[in-house]
Amino acid sequence: MQRILYIEDDDSLRGAVRLVLENAGYEAVTQPDGTQLLEALFRGEEVGCHLILLDMGLPKMNGTALLLRVRERSCVPVLALSGQDDELSVIDALAHGCDDYLTKPVRPALLLAKVAALLRRARFEGEGDGAKRPRVLELGNVRCGKGECRIDGLPVALTPTELELLRYYLARPDKTVPRSQLLLDVWGLPDGVESRTADEMTRRLRRKLEPAGASVSLRSVWGVGYRLEGPCEET
């Protein structure tokens, strides 16, 4: 059974979401703040769950600060929950390491759909699926194998969503991918939906690849989308 950790200070909402998760067949563990999780991380322990639902408005330590601590130690998928639905709040959460964002009030069907998608992506990256796509994708010195990315043979810490996005780009080298196509193929969002998710995730991926010495480059194509360019050939 897949375990989901839900960190939320609102008692009634915490109980309601727990019931939704348990009725859907998940093991739900709840905490009123991030204290227990932080203590476990400081002791060097594993996160101990398959996914974290994180309230971004926690009183003791806000969700962004807790998210940064989690990302220092783990690539577990994180779904942010927030009462803020403005674009800047969504961008900030994505930029600091969450994999998806859901606004309150929580709609059970949408919550479960997002949870299932994140867990499926994490499981897919961890197990691989040779029948659907190559187990290994390479371009330049970047190599994505079974659930991991390596640059010049050294591992690069990516979340499941970041790894999925990188694999998507690697499968389409030197091709411009429209933003709407990214949203549909990677996040399942239909055409016409306004979202900065693809932009922020691509920027986040770029910030991890460049310092690691990747010989490939993620380029913005103004007004269209993005393109992963391979290394320049020496003449």
Higher-scoring residue by pLDDT: 123, 16: 16
H/E run at residue 49: none
Instruction: Let me know how long the chain is.
Output: 235
Q: Are 76 and 50 in contact (CB under 8 A)?
A: yes
- State the pLDDT confidence band at 128, using cuts at 50, 70 and 90: very low
From the CB of residue 92, how many other CB atoms can be counted at a distance below 10 Å?
19
Lowest mean pLDDT among 41-50, 185-194, 213-222: 185-194
Higher-scoring residue by pLDDT: 183, 188: 183
- The tokens describing 64, both together, are 């962004």
The per-residue pLDDT for 190 is 62
Listing DSSP states for 192-204 in one string gives T---SHHHHHHHH
Higher-scoring residue by pLDDT: 148, 26: 26
SS3 147: coil
Q: Which listed CATH number (3.90.1860.10, 3.40.50.2300, 2.60.40.1930, 3.40.50.300) goes with 3-127? A: 3.40.50.2300
Listing DSSP states for 96-157 in one string gives TT-SEEEESSP-HHHHHHHHHHHHHHHHHHHH--TTTS-S-EEETTEEE-SS-EEETTEEE-
The per-residue pLDDT for 135 is 64
Higher-scoring residue by pLDDT: 44, 76: 76
Average pLDDT, the chain: 85
Condensed to tens digits (0 to 9), the pLDDT of residues 226-235 reads: 999 988 655 4
The per-residue pLDDT for 221 is 93
SS3 80: strand
The per-residue pLDDT for 195 is 67
Domain boundaries along the sequence of the chain:
3-127, 137-229
- The tokens describing 190, both together, are 């239909």
- The tokens describing 28, both together, are 């739900």
Q: Which fold does the domain 137-229 belong to in CATH? A: Arc Repressor Mutant, subunit A (1.10.10)
The per-residue pLDDT for 131 is 35
Q: Which of 147, 142, 149, 143 is nearest to 128 (CA)?
A: 147
Condensed to tens digits (0 to 9), the pLDDT of residues 66-86 reads: 888 888 778 888 999 998 888
The per-residue pLDDT for 150 is 93
Whether residue 182 is predicted with pLDDT greater than 50 in this model: the reply is yes
The per-residue pLDDT for 133 is 45
